[in-house]
Structure 1
Amino acid sequence: MLKYTPIAQFAIGTDHKVKAWNKACELLTGVSAEEIVGTDDQWKIFYPKKRPILADLVVEQDYEKFLEKYGTKKPAQSSIVPNAWEATDYFENFNGKPRYIYFLAAPVFDDEGNITGAVTTLQDITLRKIQKEAMKRESEQLQQQYSLLQSSMGERFKFCNIIGKSKKMQEVYDVIIRAAASADSVVIYGESGVGKELVARAIHDTSQRKDAPFIPVNCGAISEALLENEFFGHVKGAFTGAYSDKKGFLSNVEGGTLFLDEVGELSLSMQVKLLRAIEGGGFSPVGSTEVLYSDFRIVAASNQNLWEEVQKGRFRSDFFYRLYVIPIDIPPLRERKEDLALLTDYFFSQMDSPLHFDVLPGKDIKKIYNYHWPGNVRELQNVLRRYVTFNSLDFMALPDIDPPVIQPQPPSGIVTVSDSETELPLTDAAARFEKQLILSALNNCRWHREQAAEKLGISRRTLYRKMMAHGLISAI
């Protein structure tokens, strides 16, 4: 059995002579079975002077001597293999290389329960040890960075380009610092307009990846047909029009942060491929069989409840758990109105306006505080731009006003074509008809996109793309 196992193993008898030395053991140690079998020279492979190795001590069942000889080598009874002992030793020159070797020795019994020898398994864990040490050093460096950032921050009104002194924003700043001091994935939750990309950039800019690229990707704005090409790139000749190689997001983000905005819009098949790349399985450009690898961190954002999307079968659970390590909830502006004055002054300064919040008319200040900002910080910025231009507050679309209804000519069971439409090219007529169908579905669903998409039998991403193509986004 030992002869054919892919794991380095050897066996000794009660006379401490080697009885078996498999091929994997030959490759690891550089010593052939012909040289070692029948001798008790196994110690020579590991140590300069004769001494018992783990197998010898297991045969003798001398646990005290085991602890004496391997006291600094993490000696222990195996929690996996019954009656086995284990240890890890470092060798400066083991078959020509410095190596960490893991030993696991188990006794062999006859039918009457007597020990007849021992089998030792050898495993080169050098790479694992180096990676563990590197991760430990990185963790210590990140912890130092976190401590420095935390001590220097205090009660701040601005963190990176995020404005806010409220308690809720101070809590967000603290989570950003913790996230920056970690290498784990982050998911940012929040309504549209709260500044999810600003938070993602803050995490990147205060992390050890700050000198590498930060690449934001709007997952909902890329059509399904282009997803692989955009993320993984393509090689010359992969498809018509591919006249040269093109790098995708994953190649370009090497060493940096990939920000997946509206991550819930990614297709299930794309989630699988991204998960493979995140977990070190690599990726292949379109038209290539070459597997490429990229070192990057994912920060994702969504205004949807991703766990509900998992339960509905629209988001993979394995992808969810891979992303959902550090969640950050960004509060809507209506829940941190104490930041309104700071934000207003900040936006006025960005517009080179001499205005300040505290010199605004009392009625305008009252309106700003009483309004509940469904569009959040982005809406505040737009309102202030109009205020600077027109010198009056104009909220334009109050939350209790229904979305505008654009009256289409809804098709009935039999589609009628007007005389003007018969003069159009087929593609133009089809586009006009498609727009009417989309408008009809949106109006019937009170512009709820998910319901409209379901009614039309298409995905939300496809609906969004078609709305963009027909100029319907501005109608919302």
Structure 2
Amino acid sequence: MLEYTPISQFAIGTDHRVKIWNKAFEVLTGVSADEIIGTDHQWKIFYSSKRPVLADLVVEQDYKKILEIYSTKNPAQSSLVQNAWEATDYFENINGKPRYINFLAAPVFDHEGKITGAVTTLQDISLRKIQEEAMKRESEQLQQRYSLFRSSMGERFKFCNIIGKSRKMQEVYGIIVRAAGSTDSVVIQGESGVGKELVARAIHDTSQRKNAPFFSVNCDAISESLLETEFFGHVKGAATGPHNDKKGVLSYVQGGTLFLHEVGELSLSMQVKLLRVMDGGGYSPVGSNEVLYSEFRIVAASTRNLWEEVQKGRLHSDFFYRLYVIPIDIPPLRERKEDLALLADYFFSRMKSSLHFYALPEQDIQALYNYHWPGNVRELQNVLRRYIGFHGLDFIAPPNLALPASPPSRPPGLMAVSDSGADLPLPDAVARFEKQFILSALELSRWHRGKAAKKMGISPKTLYRKMMTHEINLP
């Protein structure tokens, strides 16, 4: 929208007395024409302790400048517009407000060509200047982020904690930079194990919110009955059990970033409540009528196609459109295998191993490149961890998790009895097999505990307990 402000004008004579003072100037300065016309002693009305007074600037500087210009020129042969004196300055107190004023001063001549005074035209361009400065700051911030991006890429193709030199990852880095410069919601989509939370953290860490909290909520790991308390908190006595007030995530994430992992798992009721918070309507802790407010940015992630979830009625359309402003699609590892060596060396370093990708046996390198990587970067990390521990590649990706019947053949990656070692006691061999079996189920289910438990025919609680027993942590 174009800015429009009235044109203010006044005229002075060679005696520095005001001759004309129009209505727009009255509005700009707060001084009426009756108060100022014919005087030269009320300029202090515009006094500012840190900047020269408006009239001093116009009358003294402009008038002297005009005289300098015209003392060496024949007014009859010169253009008034070309020889007018123009300037823009900042004033801290014009009619009680800080202002940016653009003014154009031009001389007035009598019939003999002598200067008899000057006319000054002023325009308040404060809004325009504020917008220009905001755009300049945004441009500088964007440039800083791109500088960070370039310097990070020069460091082993690492951007924040994301590794990758492939063209697809370069495109992701560019979107991260642009998303960091925005305040809009972001939706990160991709298969399990591609690093969606790393991307969310990169957006937060390169944005203006980097010094504010970053909170991650796994919407799929918290039961529906506890989600509202997790987000909003509760007051003492709100339900059976709570003996003290408890603050929710929204109280702690003020000014920061809320990362919603597997956002498609939220119930329609919770989606509506979060939508109300996002639209500035506030929220109330469970058991309280008090309305609280929190300002934060949402970065959501999902392995599902969220638009399909909307069409199936599992995702509220208003919630979808409120979230889906900046989409980021993370490519699976099989589509960026040129990053395998970088990723492998990064993980070897993190695991304190002296191994290097291209120092591995040729058949192992070829096997890593030929593998489909259904579990993506997370699966690569686990494969390399087992490679270090067992001195060989073991891709745990059986086509069916059901235990094989009598035939000796077995799915790739599952141990036979002979693999476990004849000297192992039966309990140790069973424990080792069970751990391997659980890892298989988790990787096939893309580390979705509920789905893995269902595949194995056990409850999620039993799976969780066994994971703790075998020291299996979610990546």
Same fold by TM-score greater than 0.5: yes
Q: What interval of TM-score do these two structures reach, taking the shorter chain for normalisation? A: 0.5 to 0.7
Q: Deviations over 1:317-338 (max 9, x none)?
A: 1110110010000000000000
Amino acid at match of 1:305: N
RMSD: 3.8
Map 1:183-202 → 2, pairs under 5 A: 183-202=183-202
User: Which residue of structure 1 lines up, in the alignment, with residue 171 of structure 2?
Assistant: 171
User: Which residue of structure 2 lines up, in the alignment, with residue 386 of structure 1?
Assistant: 386
CA distance in 2, matches of 1:266, 1:347: 33
Structure 1 residue 447 displacement after superposition: 8.4
Q: Deviations over 1:78-101 (max 9, x none)?
A: xxxxxxxxxxxxxx899xx8699x
User: Which residue of structure 1 lines up, in the alignment, with residue 149 of structure 2?
Assistant: 153
Residue 449 of structure 1 contacts residue 463 of structure 1 at CA under 8 Å; is this kept in 2?
A: no
CA distance in 1, matches of 2:33, 2:239: 66
| Residues 1:469 and 2:461 aligned together | yes
| Residues 1:259 and 2:259 aligned together | yes
SS in 2 for 1:334: helix
Structure 1 residue 221 displacement after superposition: 1.0
| Residues 1:364 and 2:364 aligned together | yes
Structure 1 residues 368 and 328, CA, compared in 2 at 3 Å: closer, same or farther?
Answer: same
Name which of 400, 403, 425 aligns with 2:401.
Answer: 403
CA distance in 2, matches of 1:272, 1:337: 40
Amino acid at match of 2:185: S
Q: Deviations over 1:151-207 (max 9, x none)?
A: 443354100110001111111111001111111100000000000000000001111
CA distance in 2, matches of 1:377, 1:186: 22
CA distance in 2, matches of 1:145, 1:449: 38
CA distance in 2, matches of 1:164, 1:403: 32
Amino acid at match of 1:223: S
User: Which residue of structure 2 lines up, in the alignment, with residue 49 of structure 1?
Assistant: 32
Structure 1 residue 135 displacement after superposition: 8.9
Structure 1 residues 284 and 463, CA, compared in 2 at 3 Å: closer, same or farther?
Answer: farther
CA distance in 2, matches of 1:268, 1:471: 28
SS in 1 for 2:271: helix
Residue 177 of structure 1 contacts residue 206 of structure 1 at CA under 8 Å; is this kept in 2?
A: yes
TM-score (norm 2): 0.60
User: Which residue of structure 1 lines up, in the alignment, with residue 280 of structure 2?
Assistant: 280
CA distance in 2, matches of 1:386, 1:406: 23
CA distance in 1, matches of 2:286, 2:404: 41
Structure 1 residue 279 displacement after superposition: 1.2
CA distance in 2, matches of 1:317, 1:133: 39
CA distance in 2, matches of 1:180, 1:213: 15
User: Which residue of structure 1 lines up, in the alignment, with residue 322 of structure 2?
Assistant: 322
Structure 1 residues 405 and 258, CA, compared in 2 at 3 Å: closer, same or farther?
Answer: farther
CA distance in 2, matches of 1:193, 1:368: 17
User: Which residue of structure 2 lines up, in the alignment, with residue 412 of structure 1?
Assistant: none
Structure 1 residue 467 displacement after superposition: 3.9
Residue 403 of structure 1 contacts residue 447 of structure 1 at CA under 8 Å; is this kept in 2?
A: no
SS in 2 for 1:315: coil
How many residues align? The count is: 315
Amino acid at match of 2:460: M
SS in 2 for 1:260: strand
User: Which residue of structure 2 lines up, in the alignment, with residue 209 of structure 1?
Assistant: 209
User: Which residue of structure 1 lines up, in the alignment, with residue 44 of structure 2?
Assistant: none
CA distance in 2, matches of 1:263, 1:139: 33
Q: Deviations over 1:226-270 (max 9, x none)?
A: 111110001122222221111101011011100000000000010
User: Which residue of structure 2 lines up, in the alignment, with residue 235 of structure 1?
Assistant: 235
Structure 1 residue 142 displacement after superposition: 3.8
Higher Rg: 2
SS in 1 for 2:301: strand
SS in 2 for 1:221: coil
Map 1:10-21 → 2, pairs under 5 A: none
SS in 1 for 2:140: helix
TM-score (norm 1): 0.59
Structure 1 residues 189 and 133, CA, compared in 2 at 3 Å: closer, same or farther?
Answer: farther
Residue 192 of structure 2 contacts residue 447 of structure 2 at CA under 8 Å; is this kept in 1?
A: no
Amino acid at match of 1:403: L
Amino acid at match of 2:318: D
Amino acid at match of 2:32: K
Residue 200 of structure 2 contacts residue 299 of structure 2 at CA under 8 Å; is this kept in 1?
A: yes
User: Which residue of structure 2 lines up, in the alignment, with residue 141 of structure 1?
Assistant: 137
SS in 1 for 2:246: coil
Structure 1 residues 152 and 290, CA, compared in 2 at 3 Å: closer, same or farther?
Answer: closer
Residue 187 of structure 2 contacts residue 327 of structure 2 at CA under 8 Å; is this kept in 1?
A: yes
SS in 2 for 1:471: helix
SS in 2 for 1:281: coil
Residue 139 of structure 1 contacts residue 182 of structure 1 at CA under 8 Å; is this kept in 2?
A: no
User: Which residue of structure 2 lines up, in the alignment, with residue 123 of structure 1?
Assistant: none
CA distance in 2, matches of 1:290, 1:314: 30
User: Which residue of structure 1 lines up, in the alignment, with residue 220 of structure 2?
Assistant: 220
Structure 1 residues 463 and 293, CA, compared in 2 at 3 Å: closer, same or farther?
Answer: farther
Residue 348 of structure 2 contacts residue 384 of structure 2 at CA under 8 Å; is this kept in 1?
A: yes
CA distance in 2, matches of 1:373, 1:222: 28
Structure 1 residue 149 displacement after superposition: 2.1
Amino acid at match of 2:388: V
CA distance in 1, matches of 2:236, 2:97: 43
Amino acid at match of 1:141: R
Structure 1 residue 47 displacement after superposition: 5.0
Structure 1 residues 251 and 368, CA, compared in 2 at 3 Å: closer, same or farther?
Answer: same
After superposing on structure 2, the runs of 4+ consecutive aligned residues of structure 1 that deviate more than 3 Å are: 97-100, 132-143, 446-450, 472-475
Higher mean C-alpha deviation, range 361-370 or range 156-165: 156-165
SS in 2 for 1:193: coil
Structure 1 residues 137 and 232, CA, compared in 2 at 3 Å: closer, same or farther?
Answer: farther
Structure 1 residue 406 displacement after superposition: 10
Structure 1 residues 146 and 93, CA, compared in 2 at 3 Å: closer, same or farther?
Answer: closer
Amino acid at match of 2:292: L
CA distance in 1, matches of 2:163, 2:346: 8
Amino acid at match of 1:49: S
Structure 1 residues 447 and 203, CA, compared in 2 at 3 Å: closer, same or farther?
Answer: closer
